[in-house]
Every structure is written in structure tokens, then in C-alpha cells.
Amino acid sequence: MTFIFLACEKTFVPKPKGYHRIDLPPHSYQDLENKHPYFFKFSRYAKTSNHKSKSTEEHWIDVTYPEHRAVIQLTYKNLKGKKLDLKNKNFLNELVNDSYKLTSKHNIKAYAIDETIIRTPTGKAATIFELEGDVPSQFQFYITDTTNHFLRGALYFRTSTKNDSLAPIINYIKIDIVQMLNTLEWK
């Protein structure tokens, strides 16, 4: 009887809602298949497929993380075949400006957009945009050799989960994207 009376005297305090733990595997990479004018290493936990949209062009691919409902959309433009004149320079400027425009479309929900230029081990320069806030794309980039190739990428999640909950996965995939850029070779 004593135990029953003692047990009844404590007041119940509800515990806060818990979040599931996200266990991410160690980073491991594989080679991109050899049918594109570019090559890089990408995560073994991701799959590649041709990009599917109305405006898809050749060599546009998606690098999909099925377990996390994430996709890196890669769009490629061939600058080769265009004379190295003012017209080609304008075409490249349009592509770079489009990258900035697509990133700035997130200004409504983003509370910060950090732009960084990184140098790869092979001397290439890539421009990276990191967006903070509840935006559809948290990480975007472009890389070009300014004469033959232009590659743009954006990370998207196919979920309505808030970005603060996705932060561990976003940070994990950012490392994979930097690895892609560091191993990028033009053909």
C-alpha cells in the first residue's frame, strides 16, 4: 500500500517531442559513367539518371539520394563550337547571370546567401552559393573553363521537412558536392 501512495504523489510532466536520429554512412565515392563531356566522383549512396523536364538538354543529370529524398540537379552547357568572339563571351555571361538570377529567386525566404569561390586541386574555380532559411535549394554552384564547358548544380529536397531538421543531411551532401567539384574533369 505504501508504494501505491508514494507513486500517486508525483505529478506527471510530459516530455518534449523527440526527433529521430539521423545516422549517415561514411563518405564513399564512385565514378560517373563515361557518356558525358565531364567526369567526377559522386556518392556511392546516390544514383544518377537523366534529368526529366520539358526543357531538358543532353547531359543534364540528376544525382539522387533516394534514402533522403534529395537530388542534385546538374545542367550542362557546351560552349565549344562557338567562336571565341564577343558572341561566345556574351553566351557565357548569360549563363553566369542566369546562375545568379536563379539563386536570387530565393531571396524571399532566404535570410542569407553566402557566395564563395573555391579552387579545386586541379586549379579550377567554382562559385558556390549557400542559402540559409527555409528555401527550396540550400546549396547551388557553377563551374566553367570559360571556353568549352559550363556546369551548374542545385541541391533540392523532395520533402516539406524544415531545413533546420534537414541540416545534418544538407551538410553531409555539401561534402559530397565539394568532392564532385574537386574531382571534376572536362573531356
Is 14 inside a domain boundary? no
Is 149 inside a domain boundary? yes
Overall number of domains in the chain:
1
Prediction pTM value: 0.83
Is 178 inside a domain boundary? yes
Is 148 inside a domain boundary? yes
Is 39 inside a domain boundary? yes
- Residue range of the domain that includes 137: 29-186
For 80-125, what is each residue's pLDDT tens digit?
765 545 555 688 889 999 999 988 888 778 888 899 999 999 999 9
Is 98 inside a domain boundary? yes
Cα atoms in the 13 Å half-sphere on the side-chain side of 156? 11
Is 97 inside a domain boundary? yes
Q: What is the mean pLDDT of residues 46-50?
A: 95
For 3-30, what is each residue's pLDDT tens digit?
555 555 556 566 666 556 678 999 999 9
CATH code of residue 130: 3.40.1000
Which of 62, 65, 71, 11 shows the shortest CA–CA distance to 32?
62
Is 21 inside a domain boundary? no
For the chain, state the CA radius of gyration: 22
For 128-152, what is each residue's pLDDT tens digit?
999 988 888 899 999 999 889 999 9
